[in-house]
Amino acid sequence: MLGTIGFLYYKEKIATIDRYCDVSMENMAMQIKMEILGHSDINSLFDDVERLRIGLYNKDHKAIVSTLTTKKIDFNQKNFTAKSSAFFVSSFIRPVDDIKYVVIEDSKVSGEMVKLKSFIWSMFVIASLFIAFIGYFLSKLLLSPVKENFSILSRFMKDSAHELNTPVTALMMSANYLKKSYDKEMIEHILMSSKMISEVYNSISYLAFHDLDVEQKEKFDLADQVHISIKYFKEIAGSKNIIIQAELNPFIIEMDKNSSTKLINNLISNAIKYSYAGKVINISLQGNILKIKDEGVGIELKDQKQIFQRYTRLNKEVEGGFGIGLDIVMGICKSNNIEISLDSEVGKGSTFTLIFPT
């Protein structure tokens, strides 16, 4: 019994450490890539090696500048572990200033795991010595940290939602203003990045506050709403040379407009994210049936039910995302009696079909 509880607790904490490391390294990689795109001075980022180390490589996998503890980098994997460190590899679609890859190293992962193992074994010995009080000690030592982790996660989501809102709004307004007189390509990069951050904010905000939001149902044309979303994702799709084709017939629905926006945006964002570069995304609205079809990596039949579960990302080779978009989609569909289905084939793409109530 004690061994089982200790094992489950160990797995949960390891998963928490992995998620924390992935998020921190991915955020650092995103920050460095934005600094490089903006041609900013990034030398200061290499000074702090206490937690994360950084390496920049060209397309031939040769180091341009690096503070990593090893020269053996697996550029074919996004995340991997070697010796006592965890690594995160991110890449540009096209090299910028001869930089193709950004590699982040977290060298404290193994130490945290050793500490975690020592902690679990200590608790096991103490519980064995005081077997008469095992229930009390387990509730204090095991259940309290779990509740604390959930509390920390909840606070993190709410704080992140508030912190992201203001800079995202300011960034988008500034980019639209600058587009009139400055380099168009650079401004489109800013717009694309701000919209990607905005989508992260919208997802986190929905998970944190949707139980407090009051939905206001109204009648509107679903085709107009889809057109707005397609226009919104124009720059993001363009970064992968993806064309979005739409054949939309008018269809009046009655639901909360913000929920419909989140529903459509998540599906289009998902299609762009998992489509191959240079392909086409087809969106059609015939009667009460909306279909979004991509030409991407596809999903195996045995995995198709899992993708609607929160924090599930089956294809980790694709950058971005936290595995919450399709969970939000499913939640909105259930709340509004919308039928959703998936038809997918590995290597050929996926089609999401929504049937709205009439």
pLDDT at residue 223, rounded to an integer: 95
Rounded average pLDDT over 73-98: 83
**Cβ(269)–Cβ(326) below 8 Å:** no
- Whether 160 has a pLDDT exceeding 70, the answer reads no
Region 46-72: mean pLDDT is: 82
Q: Cα 351 to the chain's mean position, in Å? A: 21
Q: Strand 280-286 and strand 243-248: pairing?
A: parallel
- 172 versus 85: the higher-pLDDT residue is 85
For 306-337, write each residue's pLDDT tens digit: 777 765 556 655 555 556 678 888 888 998 99
- Please tell me whether residue 230 adopts helix, strand or coil conformation: helix
More confident residue, 27 or 286: 286
- Topology alike, domains 2-112 and 217-355: no
Share of the chain above pLDDT 90, in %: 22
Q: Which residue carries 């799709």 as its tokens? A: 237
Residue 349's alpha-carbon distances to 270, 286, 322, in angstroms, are: 12, 21, 21
- End-to-end CA distance of the chain: give it in Å, rounded: 53
Task: Please check whether residue 244 is in contact with residue 281, taking contact to mean a CB–CB distance below 8 angstroms.
Answer: yes
Q: Return the higher-pLDDT residue of 2 and 73.
A: 73
Q: Cα-flanking dihedrals φ and ψ of residue 276, to 5°?
A: -75, 150
Q: Note the pLDDT of residue 284.
A: 95
Per-range mean pLDDT, top range of 117-131, 211-225, 303-317: 211-225
User: 155-164, 257-266, 289-298, 319-328: which has the minimum mean pLDDT?
Assistant: 155-164
User: Which CATH fold topology does 2-112 show?
Assistant: Beta-Lactamase (3.30.450)
Contact 306, 299 (CB under 8 A): no
At 311 the pLDDT is 57
Q: How much is the pLDDT for 121?
A: 73
Contact assessment for residue 73 and residue 103, using Cβ atoms and an 8 Å cutoff: yes
Cα distances (Å, whole numbers) of residue 93 to 24, 183, 258, 261, 285: 22, 20, 33, 29, 32
> Could you tell me which of 240, 236, 350 has the C-alpha nearest to residue 294?
350
Helix (H) or strand (E) holding 342: strand 339-345
- Host H or E run for residue 130: none
Q: What is the pLDDT of residue 33?
A: 84
- Residue corresponding to tokens 């590899």: 89
In our burial notation (b when 16+ CB lie closer than 10 A, e otherwise), range 163-201 reads: ebeeebeebbeebeeeeeeeeeeebbbbbbbbbbbbbbb
Helix axis angle, 144-178 relative to 184-209, nearest 10°? Answer: 150
Q: Top-level CATH class of 217-355?
A: alpha beta
248, 229 Cβ separation under 8 angstroms: no
CA distance 45 to 30: 13
Q: Which residue has the tokens 């990302």?
A: 313
Q: What would the two tokens of residue 284 be? A: 């059609």
Strand locations in 199-333, DSSP E? 217-221, 243-248, 252-256, 280-286, 289-293
Give the best-scoring range by mean pLDDT among 25-29, 95-99, 182-186, 288-292. Answer: 288-292
Confidence label for 252 from pLDDT (cuts 50, 70 and 90): very high
HSE, side-chain direction, 13 A CA sphere, residue 18: 11
For the residues 273-289, what does the mean pLDDT come to?
Answer: 93
Q: Provide the pLDDT for residue 35.
A: 81
In the block, residue with structure tokens 């010595």: 129
d(CA 318, CA 338): 28
Alpha-carbon span 226 to 288, nearest angstrom: 13
Q: Taking 80 as the threshold, does the pLDDT of residue 64 lie above it?
A: yes
Residue 52 has pLDDT above 70, yes or no: yes
Q: What are phi and psi of 332, to 5 degrees?
A: -65, -40
User: Considering the chain, what percentage of its residues have pLDDT values greater than 70?
Assistant: 60
Task: Place 288 in a pLDDT band, splitting at 50, 70 and 90.
Answer: very high
Could you tell me the two tokens for 9?
């607790």
Band of residue 248 on the pLDDT scale cut at 50, 70, 90: very high
Spans of all domains in the chain: 2-112, 133-209, 217-355
Q: Which of 352, 357, 339 is nearest to 294 (CA)?
A: 352
Residue type, 74: D
Q: What is the mean pLDDT of the chain?
A: 77
- Model confidence at 279: pLDDT above 80: yes
The domain defined by 133-209 carries CATH number 1.10.287: yes
